[in-house]
Structure 1
């Protein structure tokens, strides 16, 4: 199987994931302003100050250039940028990846957009790169994210205590979840059924 470790463009009915670009700073700034997402200390989003969005993109692209991450801009069905996500901690020897740094404008949260985005991302990891596992991590404070990851069908692996720090310096316990390659077909089928049944209701992951 051809394992090209570059940022793909992934397209569904509700979402399009495309490589993050420097020219998208204004659009990212606007998406983060919908809900003032920078006020949540456990999220990694562009702040409200001039240059914050540019610095956010520069850091993400530096990770990409170092071979550590593949960052995306997230577009809704109308073609508007509503957030960002990325593959990171890429281990080509297993292979395995993590999916994270995910945030959405308030209007896109808990809709079919995120369910389909995860379906596309995790599917790409297993089907294109033949990954053995996909990992998702979140802060102990981000209860909504923990619930959303469980609704995807991931299993909770455990908690890394005092693992890192939030943006404000407070210690973060990291909750770790994963999906294995042989678990993915059943999970993918369940996510597709969810999208077909209730594409826009707020009970999506």
Structure 2
């Protein structure tokens, strides 16, 4: 049985609700997230079919947002979206948030896969163990970025791969290397 971890030694996922004060968009703007779309597009996209949404925090500061949406219980899949401060990507923030988000989805719902849509520019940065992350499709000219049509790439992590490989990576982040190897606990 999976536990829905929402905290590692350096990063925490905190529930994000617009009723908590500033809107999600304003909070992300203040955090300096540079990859935000225009406000109207963000609000339109982020209001629908939301299953879970979290602010990403490090040292008490918001550095991003992660959400799970479009839960399809018949098809047993859910879409993950992750927005983080691009400057922190070199420090592994995106990977850490992805691991917690995917694990949360598998722990909370009986889904067979968690999928991600990403644009051409981001696809080069979307990495993970080859046995964990599968590229499923490319949708040519499906999105507009900086006023130009761009491809959208669809990646997925399947439950069986997550249980075999992903849980070990997350356990290492949450409890340390010894716990991931079955030592000391």
Q: Summarize the alignment of residues 71-82 of structure 1 with structure 2, pairs less than 5 Å apart.
A: 71-76=53-58, 78-82=59-63
TM-score by structure 1 length?
0.67
* The one of 124, 138, 141 aligned to 1:162: 141
1:133 corresponding residue in structure 2:
113
Gaps of 5+ in 1: 2-7, 38-42, 198-205
1:40 corresponding residue in structure 2:
none
Tell me if structure 2 keeps the 8 A contact 1:115–1:191. Answer: no
Alpha-carbon separation, structure 1, partners of 2:14 and 2:169: 21
Over the residues paired in the alignment, what is the CA RMSD in angstroms? 3.1
1:19 corresponding residue in structure 2:
15
Aligned residues: 169
Q: Summarize the alignment of residues 79-90 of structure 1 with structure 2, pairs less than 5 Å apart.
A: 79-90=60-71
Gaps of 5+ in 2: 178-185
Secondary structure at the counterpart of residue 111 of structure 2:
coil
Secondary structure at the counterpart of residue 173 of structure 1:
strand
Tell me if structure 1 keeps the 8 A contact 2:66–2:97. Answer: no
1:15-45, Cα deviation, whole Å (9 max, x unpaired)? 2212223324454222226xxx1xxxxx4x1
2:52 corresponding residue in structure 1:
70
TM-score by structure 2 length?
0.73
Secondary structure at the counterpart of residue 121 of structure 2:
coil
After TM superposition, where is structure 1 displaced by more than 6 Å over at least 4 residues in a row?
none
1:28 corresponding residue in structure 2:
28
Secondary structure at the counterpart of residue 55 of structure 2:
strand
